[in-house]
Structures are given as C-alpha cells and as structure tokens.
C-alpha cells in the first residue's frame, strides 16, 4: 500500500497566498512595463525628429486648418514624430491660436519652437500668392488659375495634374480619397472633381505645382472625413459622391434647394430614367454656354446624360460642402423633373406634363420676349 502525502488546510492557504502574491506581482510588472513603455514612447515623440538636421522644409497651413490637420501635415512632412502627441502637447500648453501661413521648419526644431513659429511666424498677408478656386470649377479652369497666379502655362499645370505616376503617389497618401476609380474607362481627367474649392495662400510663386495640387487633395480628404461613416452605411464610394455632388453643384442656383435637386437625381436613377442634366452636355462638348440647344443634346459622349443612363463616368467639376451633403442626404420627394428659370428660381414637377408647362411659362416665353 503506497503512502500519500497529506496537505492540511494551513498548507493550502500558504500555497494560495503565494499564488496570489506572484499573480499580483506579475500584474504590477506588466502594468509597470506598459506604463514605462508608454512613458518612453511619449518622451521620444516629444523630442525633435533629428536634432542635427537643419534642412528647411516648406509647410503650408491653409486658412481654416484644424489642429488635427496641422499635426498630421507636420508628421507627414517629417517635422514631428507623432501627430497625436503633438496635438495633445499643444492642448496641454493651452496654445490654440496657431495661424495659417507658409512656414519653413526643420526636423531639428523642438515642439515648443514649432508652436512659437506657428503663432508668430510668417502669417498670411498682402503680397503673397493667393489661389482662389470657386465651387463648380473644372480641372482645366483650376489649372488656368494656378498658372496665372504662379506664372506658369496652364498646360504645364494640367500636365502635372494628369501625371499618372504623381496620381499613383497621391493614391498611396490618400487611400480613402483616391482609388482606381479615377482611372476608370472614359474618365477625361483623373483628378476632376477632387480638388477642393477654397483659397490657398503661398509665400511665393515658386511653390511646386505638385505641392499645390496635394494641398487641394488634402483639403478634400479632410472635408470628406466627416462623411465617411454615412458613406459606408449607404455603400457610396468617394468617386460616386463627388460625381453626384458635381452634378448638383452645376445645376444649383443661389436660390436652389440642393437636397431637393438631389432627390430628383435619386428618383430618376431609381426609375431607370436618364438624368438629362444640361451641364453634362456642356462638359461633353467642352464648352461653356448660357443655353443648351437641341442639337447639343445629340453629342456622342459617355458624359451626355441625355444619351447615357446613370451617372457620368466621373465628376464634371468640383463641389462644395453643401452639394456633398445634398448628394449624401437627398430630400424625400416624388419629383422627377426640375428646371431653373433665367431669374434663378427652381421649379419642380412630378410628371412630364407639369414640367412642360413650367418650361413654357418660365423659359420658352422668356426667350420669345427677348426676340421681340
């Protein structure tokens, strides 16, 4: 008969206490390790990127840039190690009056030096290059504006905008904004509709076109960030949103309800009807005209929504926030038609008969009176 050892209650208690003791010690060591790791990470992130690198790096901070945008731009330019750490350090210091402008930083600068520079450095003022891109502008028009303000031929600017290698680089930088859809069949210009309408300031005319275009892409990406959750819920890609919003932008007058115009497009798409929107005809023609004529509607182009059902292959121009929001959130209506009078008033109809009467009353009669 074998002998079995017997462990009494007191022995079990000692073992249990030892187990608990070692578990607590292990937990504290893990927590301590995480805390230490976090401490050293933050300490490292607060240090300059490279104390011995005094290479100047030009950084443009557009008007209206949030602290998050500024921090991300500085990290991308290699001026700070971590955007989040910089952002929280600025908040910790209570510095919330950073100014827009064209700055020259170096990787050797401390965070305090960066903050001081962003508060008191070269601030936007008279004599600097100002590039203003209105809502509804097409890529060729944007190229002309950039060319005029920087002293370059518009063709040179447009060449940079259409450079596939450059666009591929931007796709890597802004993967949620630019996808392979910009290279889809029948797309006229890959970056059409992707350059945000705003005013951009620069220190001089020597700013590379690539950097100007990237600033505009970055602005669009930042604006769209607030809508991505809603876009995902509606299974709407960035390309589709910008395409639809560009149509709304072109059709909307100052008095128009963009959400209502959006509803007409949604209703026609759902009914399998062609959109039949005049701005797409003008884009197909490559012309700017006050009035679309009947013969214009015959142009053979994937952008002509009188001949092709569905959306155009891509945007026909850029668009502002109001049109983007309308494209994402159309008003609920039964309208299938709308028209804008020469006075800018917009009228909606549920049937072709109603629409024809409105057209006769507000458009046809107007031009007939002009002939008299």
pLDDT in tens, 165-196: 999 999 999 999 999 999 999 999 999 999 99
CA–CA separation, 167 vs 30, rounded Å?
A: 46
Could you give the number of structural domains in the chain? 3
The predicted structure's pLDDT at residue 290: 77
Whether 203 and 290 map to the same domain: the answer is: no
CA–CA separation, 365 vs 342, rounded Å?
A: 11
For the CA atoms of 185, 186, 188, 192, the dihedral, rounded to the nearest 10 degrees, stands at -60
* 246-274 residues labelled b (16+ CB within 10 A) or e (exposed): bbbbbbbeeebebbbbbbbbbbbeeeeee
The predicted structure's pLDDT at residue 168: 97
- Are the C-beta atoms of 222 and 323 separated by less than 8 Å? no
The predicted structure's pLDDT at residue 5: 47
66 domain-assigned: yes
pLDDT digits (tens, 9 = 90+) for 211-243: 999 999 999 998 999 999 999 999 999 999 999
The DSSP H or E segment spanning 108 is none
Whether 101 and 134 map to the same domain: the answer is: no
- Are the C-beta atoms of 292 and 339 separated by less than 8 Å? no
- Are the C-beta atoms of 134 and 143 separated by less than 8 Å? no
Whether 357 and 259 map to the same domain: the answer is: yes
How far from 241 is each of 193, 213, 236, CA to CA, in Å?
A: 10, 20, 6
33 domain-assigned: no
The predicted structure's pLDDT at residue 265: 97
- DSSP secondary structure code for residue 136 in this structure: T
103 domain-assigned: yes
212 domain-assigned: yes
Three-state secondary-structure class, residue 309? coil
Whether 300 and 357 map to the same domain: the answer is: yes
Domain end (from 177, 192, 225): 225
Whether 268 and 365 map to the same domain: the answer is: yes
75 domain-assigned: yes
- Are the C-beta atoms of 346 and 339 separated by less than 8 Å? yes
How far from 190 is each of 39, 140, 168, 186, 220, CA to CA, in Å?
A: 45, 12, 11, 10, 15
Domain that holds residue 81: 57-120
* Spans of the chain, pLDDT less than 70: 1-45, 121-127, 255, 365-372
Burial (0-12, 13-18, 19+ Cβ within 10 Å), 35:
exposed
Model pTM score = 0.75
Domain end (from 175, 190, 225): 225
Alpha helices in the chain (DSSP H): 9-46, 67-76, 83-93, 111-120, 139-150, 154-161, 164-173, 209-225, 228-233, 238-251, 258-270, 278-285, 321-328, 352-359, 365-371
The predicted structure's pLDDT at residue 3: 45
Across all residues in the chain, what is the average pLDDT?
86
The predicted structure's pLDDT at residue 25: 66
């Amino acid at each position: 008969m074998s002998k079995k050892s017997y462990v009494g209650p007191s022995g079990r208690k000692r073992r249990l206490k030892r187990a608990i003791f070692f578990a607590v010690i292990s937990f504290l060591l893990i927590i301590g390790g995480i805390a230490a790791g976090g401490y050293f990470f933050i300490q490292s992130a607060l240090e300059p990127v490279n104390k011995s690198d005094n290479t100047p790096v030009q950084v443009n901070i557009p008007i209206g840039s949030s602290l998050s945008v500024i921090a991300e731009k500085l990290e991308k330019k290699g001026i700070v190690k971590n955007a989040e750490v910089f952002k929280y350090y600025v908040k910790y210091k209570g510095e919330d009056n950073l100014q827009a402008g064209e700055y020259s930083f170096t990787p050797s600068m401390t965070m305090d030096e960066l903050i001081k520079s962003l508060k008191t450095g070269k601030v936007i003022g008279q004599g600097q290059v100002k590039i203003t891109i209105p809502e509804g502008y097409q890529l060729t028009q944007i190229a002309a504006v950039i060319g005029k303000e920087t002293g370059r031929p518009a063709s040179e600017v447009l060449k940079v905008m259409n450079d596939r290698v450059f666009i591929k680089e931007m796709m890597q930088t802004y993967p949620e904004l630019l996808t392979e859809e910009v290279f889809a069949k029948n797309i006229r210009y890959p970056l059409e509709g992707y350059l945000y309408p705003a005013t951009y300031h620069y220190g001089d005319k020597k700013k590379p076109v690539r950097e100007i275009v990237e600033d505009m892409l970055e602005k669009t990406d930042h604006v769209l960030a607030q809508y991505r959750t809603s876009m995902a819920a509606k299974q709407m890609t960035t390309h589709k949103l910008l395409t639809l919003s560009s149509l709304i932008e072109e059709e909307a007058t100052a008095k128009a309800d963009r959400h209502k115009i959006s509803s007409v497009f949604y209703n026609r798409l759902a009914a399998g009807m062609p959109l039949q929107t005049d701005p797409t005809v003008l884009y197909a023609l490559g012309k700017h005209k006050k009035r679309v004529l009947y013969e214009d509607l015959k142009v053979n182009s994937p952008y002509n929504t009188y001949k092709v059902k569905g959306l155009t292959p891509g945007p026909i121009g850029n668009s502002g926030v109001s049109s983007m929001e309308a494209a994402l959130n159309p008003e609920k209506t039964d309208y299938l038609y709308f028209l804008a009078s020469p006075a800018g008033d917009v009228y909606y109809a549920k049937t072709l008969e109603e629409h024809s009467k409105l057209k006769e009353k507000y458009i046809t009669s107007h031009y007939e009176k002009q002939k008299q």
